[in-house]
Amino acid sequence: MRQSCIVPKKERIVFMEKATVYYSDFRCTNGVSLLDKLRKLCIAAGIKNIDMEGKFVAIKMHFGELGNLAFLRPNYAKVVVDLCKEMGGMPFLTDCNTLYPGSRKNALEHLECAQLNGFWPMTVGCQILIGDGLRGTDEVEVPVPNGEYIKSAKIGRAIMDADVFISLTHFKGHEMTGFGGAIKNIGMGCGSRAGKMEQHADGKPQVDTDACRGCRRCAKECGSDAISYVDKKAIIDYDKCKGCGRCIGACSFDAIYSPDDSAVETLDRKMAEYAQAVCYGRPCFHVSLVQDISPNCDCHGENDAPILPDIGMFASFDPVALDQACADACLAAQALPHSQLSDNLESEGWEHHHDNFKDSNPNIEWKATLEQAEKVGVGTRKYELKRV
């Protein structure tokens, strides 16, 4: 069985065998900072075994939407940047423009957003490039080996021009995919605007007018100006709707839903295949920080209270094993009080799923992402956890 990415021999992924995921908690003794622990974790996981001498290194992360404070601090990015520079690499931080209007819909606003959130060359130690250019159209079509849903993915050109790819992920909940982990950071995050549209295209929500209260929260969340109101009931303009599902997560009354149960699952599987396109055939390394576990995506202009306590830092050459390890740690954690998750669990008549992601956002099928990623060869869900 072929490998999903190029890694040092001792860390090569052989399917049906366990991948190694390295873990460190957030406890710090006197004189040891979280930045020290992140550096030690990356080194233990093998980042220094990658040949970066004279090579471009794309470090994919999320700079946070303006108003959202759950995104990873730039201090963490600098740790990874400094390690790459020590190995002779030429790193840059990158993300692609969003599909919906907001503070990151074109490169100028995206860079301004990153700067306002603290990401400057002087704070992170490298330049910041928007992967798909000024308008989100600078893309390259990349074949998807073993792809079932996507045969050719549309990826930001700067990301594919890099010799080495690193994902630095804020692992949190998500209203459409269950959680936002490494695979989402890679697959959805590296897609150009057209690529994001391709991943979202199969499902568009509908409105249960009997359940709609006319609160207009869905319209405020819609980035496509696709929701209007007639007789105080939400109406979706499907010519404008991009099927992103943000309105589903916004509705507190289950009035907006996906009429096709496979739509969310299809999104998950397409996202996994996009990650395959990004990672295939070049050195890759992945880091996820499981902290500030907000119930929804960092693309929101706000962040709700975390649903789970901070858990730790994880690193691996295998993004599938990494996501599985992070998910398992979250499933084993207790819900924090006064959070979306605890409120749902305490609601009268709530159908308990015994799954912290699904109990926070019930309209999700997160396991499909990992199933498809493993199926097409991104990595394996089997892992061995090593504490650093």
Per DSSP, the residues of 212-236 read -----HHHHH-SS--EEEETTEEEE
Q: Which residue type occupies 364? A: I
Residue appearing with tokens 């890099």: 162
Q: What is the DSSP string of 61-123?
A: -----TT---SPPHHHHHHHHHHHHHTT-EEEEEE---SSSSTTSSHHHHHHHHHHTT--HHH
pLDDT at residue number 9: 45
Q: Could you tell me how many helices (H) and strands (E) the chain has, helices first? A: 14, 16
For 296-366, strand residue ranges (E) read 312-316
For the domain bounded by 206-257, which CATH number is listed? Answer: 3.30.70.20
pLDDT at residue number 13: 43
* Residue 345: other Cβ atoms inside 10 A: 15
pTM of the model: 0.86
- CA distances (Å), origin 253, targets 15, 20, 50, 218, 370: 43, 42, 49, 11, 29
Query: What does the alpha-carbon distance between residue 20 and residue 107 come to, in Å, rounded to a whole number?
Result: 36
State the Rg of the chain over Cα: 20
pLDDT at residue number 7: 46
Sheet holding 284-290, edge to edge: 127-130, 90-95, 56-60, 164-170, 284-290, 312-316, 19-24, 383-387
pLDDT at residue number 11: 42
Output the tens digit of pLDDT for each of the chain's 388 residues.
334 445 444 444 444 599 999 999 999 999 999 999 999 999 999 999 999 999 999 999 999 999 999 999 999 999 999 999 999 999 999 999 997 768 998 999 999 999 999 999 999 999 999 999 998 889 999 999 999 999 999 999 999 999 999 999 999 999 999 999 999 999 999 999 888 888 987 668 899 999 999 999 899 888 789 999 999 999 999 999 877 777 876 787 889 887 765 578 999 999 999 999 999 999 999 999 999 999 999 999 999 999 999 999 999 999 999 999 999 999 999 999 999 999 999 999 999 999 999 999 998 999 999 999 999 999 999 999 999 9
* Residue 349: other Cβ atoms inside 10 A: 4
Torsion of CA 20, 181, 342, 361, to 10 degrees: -130
pLDDT at residue number 260: 64
Cβ-count burial of 351 within 10 angstroms (0-12 exposed, 13-18 middle, 19+ buried)?
A: exposed
Query: What does the alpha-carbon distance between residue 155 and residue 136 come to, in Å, rounded to a whole number?
Result: 10
Query: What does the alpha-carbon distance between residue 33 and residue 26 come to, in Å, rounded to a whole number?
Result: 9
Closest by CA to 323, choosing from 188, 172, 196, is 172
pLDDT at residue number 12: 42
- CA distances (Å), origin 119, targets 91, 171, 181: 14, 19, 21
Q: Which residue type occupies 149? A: Y
